[in-house]
């Protein structure tokens, strides 16, 4: 197996981060001189041009409040971090997600799930997300960027009328203030950095 980027151990340790699954990824490729090598390795790994272009754009033009970086050991998996939108119960939280591009992408949607626990009617306890563009409203014209922006928007506007977690949805409908408070507590407990 050919390494993605040739780095000394000390340089790797400076650049690398480890997800909670123990998979290394490079969080700041756009700020290093290794980006051309990285893109070259993507091409040599047989990835479709579409995935390479989308990845290049995600790295070169990051979306505000969202980072998405491919894993070094499998360029179809992305480590995603979404900042909780302001004026929501998720504000000040950093939510980790995993995004996977299936072999038939873009004909089928990416698979995305929250790794960080979140109290939200459209996200179940396993982190799966109820979002129409991840299911029947998917179109090959959509991109990874669109999916991530849609998830960020869903965090701003939970929809208890189309839930994935019916228990959370019931609380949201019957006592929205309580649901929002619980969502804030989840954010504090699971989505904020501990010193």
Write out pLDDT tens, residues 106-134. 999 999 999 999 999 999 999 999 999 99
Residue in 58, 66, 130, 131 annotated catalytic? 130
How many of the other CB atoms lie within 10 Å of CB of 134? 20
Tens digit of pLDDT for each residue in 87-108?
Answer: 999 999 999 999 999 999 999 9
* DSSP one-letter code for 110: P
For the question of residue 130 being annotated catalytic, the response is yes
Q: Which pLDDT score is estimated for 89?
A: 98
CB atoms within 10 A of CB 108: 13
176-190 and 166-174 helices cross at what angle (nearest 10)? 130
Which of helix, strand or coil describes residue 94? strand
Name the phi and psi angles at 36, rounded to 5. Answer: -60, -40
Mean per-residue pLDDT, 1-16? 36
**Residue 192: per-residue pLDDT:** 87
Q: In which band, very low, low, confident or very high, does the pLDDT at 73 lie, cut at 50, 70 and 90? A: confident
Q: Which CATH superfamily is domain 48-190 in?
A: Ubiquitin Conjugating Enzyme (3.10.110.10)
Q: What is the pLDDT of residue 28?
A: 44
Q: What is the pLDDT of residues 171-182, one digit of tens each?
A: 999 999 999 999
Give residue limits of the domains in the chain: 48-190
Beta strand 17-18 with 111-114 is: unpaired
Tokens for 165?
A: 């977690």
Can you tell me whether residue 34 is helix, strand or coil?
Answer: coil
């Amino acid at each position: 197996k050919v390494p993605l980027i040739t780095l000394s151990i000390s340089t790797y340790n400076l650049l690398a981060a480890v997800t909670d699954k123990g998979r290394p990824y490079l969080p700041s490729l756009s700020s290093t001189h290794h980006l051309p090598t990285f893109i070259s390795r993507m091409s040599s790994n047989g990835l479709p041009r579409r995935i390479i272009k989308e990845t290049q754009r995600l790295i070169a033009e990051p979306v505000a409040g969202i980072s998405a970086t491919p894993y070094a050991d499998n360029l179809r998996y992305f480590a995603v971090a979404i900042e909780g939108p302001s004026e929501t119960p998720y504000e000040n939280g950093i939510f980790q997600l995993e995004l996977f591009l299936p072999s038939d992408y873009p004909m089928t949607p990416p698979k995305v799930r929250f790794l960080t626990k979140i109290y939200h009617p459209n996200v179940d306890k396993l982190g799966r997300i109820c979002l129409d563009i991840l299911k029947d409203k998917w179109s090959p014209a959509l991109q990874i960027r669109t999916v991530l922006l849609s998830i960020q928007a869903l965090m701003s506007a939970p929809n208890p009328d189309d839930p994935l977690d019916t228990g959370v949805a019931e609380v949201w409908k019957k006592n929205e203030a309580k649901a929002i408070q619980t969502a804030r507590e989840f954010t504090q407990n699971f989505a904020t950095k501990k010193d």
